[in-house]
Structure 1
Amino acid sequence: MKKSDEMNTFHHLIRGIILIGFMLLLFKLLLTNNITLLIAPKMIRFIYFTLFVLFTLGVLLIIRGTSVQKHPYHCDCDGQHSYPTSFGKSLFLYLLFIIPITTGFLFANNILDSSVAINRTIKLGASSQDTKPSKAVKDTNKTNVTAKSNDTLTNQHEPLSETEYTKLKKDMLQTKRINIKEKTYVPMMTIIQDNLQSMIGKTISIKGFVYREKNFMQNQIIVARFGISCCVADASVYGIMAKGNVAALPKDKWVQVIGTIEQTQYDGGTIPSIKIKQISKISTPKQPYVFDAGIQIE
C-alpha cells in the first residue's frame, strides 16, 4: 500500500472514531437526562436522529479505514479535496474535535447562574427589561407562554392551547394562593403581569435562584429562573422581584419564597413584586430551567 493510501486510511479511521465519540457523548447525555441542561425537551427528537446519523457514518468510515481494499478517494465536484499532509496539522485538526468529546465525558455539567444572567434579558413578571440598570424599562410585552400547566395538562413540553391558557388564567384569578410550578412557570408569570391589579394581595409561592442588579437596595432580590425555548444559547431570565430581609442571602442561592403580591415601580415601569413572609433555602432542583413552548393558536 502506498504511503498516501495509508494516510487516507488513517484519516478515515480517526474520523470514524470521532463520530462514534460524539454519538456516545450524546447517548450519555440522554441516559443521564443531562441533555435538558443543554436543549429544550422538544428538541430531543432530533437528537435521536442525530445519533443514528453519527453511528452510521462513524461505522462506515471505520470499516473503510480498516478495509484492505483500495478505494478511490475522489469526487466529481470541481473543487480539490485533500487531507492534512503533516502530523502537526492533523493533530491540531483532530484535537478540535477530540477535546470537546473528552471534556464532555470527564467534567460535570454546569448550570447557568448570575454571571450569565447579567448579560441576558431579565423578564420581571414576564415583561422584557434590559439587564443593565442604567437603561429604562421597556413597555410590557406579552411573551410566549410555556408548557402544559397543571395536573390536567399532561405534556409539559407542548404548547398550551388557547382553551388551556384561558382555564389557567381563570383558575389563577379565582384562587387566593398561587403556587408557581415548573410546568407552568412562564405562562403563570405572564398572567400575573398582564392581570397585576387583580393579583395584588394574593399569596404566592415561588422557587428560584437569588439574582441582584447593581442598583438594587439591600432588601431587594429577584427570584429567578432561566427559561429556554430551544437551547441554552437562547436562554432568558424570568423572575419576580421580592422585598424583605434578604441582605445576607448570597447570589445564586436557591430559595423558596412565600409572600404577598404587590406592585412596584422599577426604572419607570410597573412590575409585580413579592412582600416576603417566609423565605427558605433549598437545594438546586434536578431541572433548574423552565421551558417556553408558546401558545398554539386554534
Structure 2
Amino acid sequence: MSPRIYSLHHFIKASILFGFAMYIVHLVRTDNILFYIAPRMVDYVKWSAVAFYAIAVYQVYQAIRAFFGSAAACDCDHDHTPSSSLLKNTVIYGLFFFPLLLGFLLPDTSMGSSLAAKKGMNLSSSSNVKKEASSTAPSAPVPNPAAPSSGGAASSNGSGTTGSAAAPGAAVTPGDSAGKTAPSSSGNQDAMFPSDRFTEHYAKYAKELYKSGVIPVKENMYIETLTTLDLYLDQFIGKKLELTGFVYRQEDMKDNQFVVGRFSIQCCSADASPFGVLVEYDRAKNFADDSWVTVTGTIQKTKFNDMDIMLLKVEKVAKAEPAKTQYVYPNIDFGT
C-alpha cells in the first residue's frame, strides 16, 4: 500500500474520533446529553471525549509519518495494513460515520408514548420489591411487636389493626381511617406500615408521606414515592396526591382514563422503564398524548389487567411545561 493511501486511513480514523469527541461536547453544552444518560454518568462521558480527542491526535501524528514514509514497522508478527478493497473499507468506516451523522442531523428528543407502548407502562411500581420480599419470606407470619402477644390474624374492622404483621401491600388499613390524621403512637404506625428487611425504609418513608395533606411526587423521589404508595396502597386510599408527567394511553383504557408517566433511567436510555399512575378525569380527551400535565386527585384502588393498582380520581389538571430533565432517576441516598 502506498504511503499516501496508508496516511489517508489514519486521517479517516482521526476524523471519526474527532467527530465523536465534538458530538459529546455539543450534547454537554446544550444539556441534551440528559436525553441519553443519567446525570451521574455525565462526567464519565466527558472524560471519554478527552480520550477520543487524544487518540485522534495520535492518529493524525501517525498519518503525517505515514505520508512521508517514516511510519515505524510493527514487530508483533501481524500485518496491520488496511484492506485494499474500497467496498470493505466503505462498510467498515460507514459503521462509525453513519451513527455519528444521525447524531448531528436528527433532533434530540425525549422518549414518550410510542416507546412506553413498546416497553409496557409499569402501573405497579412495587412489583420488584414484593418479589424480593416474598422470595425470602418466612413460612409462618412474623408477629408484630406492636400487637398483643395473643393477637390473631390481621383485621381491618374500624377499631384498629391487630395481630400478625401483614405482607407489604396487604390490606392492613384500620377501617376507614385513610385520609385522616396520622396515628399518634409509633405502635399504631408500625401496625399500619409493617415491614421486613427489604421494605423497612419504604415503611419509614410511608409514615412521613401519611402526614402530608397533599402528597407531592417530587422529581428526586419519583420512583421511591410511587413504590411506597403502591406497597401500602390500602393505607393511602383517600389521601391526596399531586404529580407531573406526560400523558399516555393504551387501547384497553376507558375514554376518561389516561396515565401520567415518566421514564426512569438507571444508567442510560437503553435501560429506560416507563412508570406512571392511572388517572380518571371527565375531560380526559382534552389532553393529547405526550402532552405534559400536573394532576391533583384522590388515591383510589382499581383493577387493571387483573392487577390491583393505584387509581387517581383527578380533581384538578393543569398543563405543564416538560421538565428540563424529563427522566427520573433512582435516589441513591434513599434508605441510607
Correspondence for 2:76 = 76
Name the larger-Rg structure.
2
Contact 2:264 2:272 in 1 (8 A): yes
SS state at 2:118 partner:
coil
Correspondence for 1:259 = 297
SS state at 1:123 partner:
coil
SS state at 1:118 partner:
helix
Deviation at 1:177? Answer: 0.7
TM alignment of 1:278-289, pairs within 5 A: 278-289=316-327
Correspondence for 1:221 = 258
Q: Which amino acid aligns with 2:84?
A: T
Q: Which amino acid aligns with 2:324?
A: K
Deviates more, 1:271-280 or 1:42-51: 42-51
Number of aligned positions between the proteins: 268
Deviation at 1:72? Answer: 3.0
Deviations for 1:116-148, whole angstroms, at most 9, x for unmatched residues? 1112142214145xxxxxxxxx995579xxxxx
Q: Which amino acid aligns with 1:185?
A: Y
Correspondence for 1:102 = 101
- CA, structure 1 residues 142+174, in 2 after alignment: closer, same or farther (shift >3 Å)? farther
Deviation at 1:294? Answer: 5.0
SS state at 2:260 partner:
strand
Correspondence for 1:292 = 330
Q: Which amino acid aligns with 2:107?
A: A
- CA, structure 1 residues 273+52, in 2 after alignment: closer, same or farther (shift >3 Å)? same
Question: 2-side partners of 1:250 and 1:256: how far apart?
Answer: 14
Deviation at 1:37? Answer: 0.8
Deviation at 1:4? Answer: 2.4
TM-score norm. by structure 2 comes to 0.72
Which structure ranks higher in relative contact order (CA pairs < 8 Å, sequence separation ≥ 6)? 1
Question: 2-side partners of 1:15 and 1:139: how far apart?
Answer: 47
Contact 1:262 1:272 in 2 (8 A): yes
Deviation at 1:244? Answer: 1.4
Deviation at 1:292? Answer: 2.2
Asked whether 1:116 is paired with 2:115, we answer: yes
Contact 2:126 2:231 in 1 (8 A): no
Question: 2-side partners of 1:96 and 1:84: how far apart?
Answer: 16
- CA, structure 1 residues 228+294, in 2 after alignment: closer, same or farther (shift >3 Å)? same
Deviations for 1:84-120, whole angstroms, at most 9, x for unmatched residues? 3133433333232223223322332021111111121
Task: For structure 2, list consecutive stretches of 5 or more residues without a partner in the other structure.
Answer: 134-198
Correspondence for 2:281 = 244
Q: Which amino acid aligns with 2:304?
A: Y
Deviation at 1:262? Answer: 0.8
Contact 2:221 2:330 in 1 (8 A): no
Deviates more, 1:79-88 or 1:179-188: 79-88
Correspondence for 1:30 = 28
Task: For structure 1, list consecutive stretches of 5 or more residues without a partner in the other structure.
Answer: 129-137, 144-161
Deviation at 1:80? Answer: 4.3
Identity %: 29
Contact 1:229 1:293 in 2 (8 A): no
Deviation at 1:186? Answer: 0.5
Question: 1-side partners of 2:312 and 2:30: how far apart?
Answer: 36
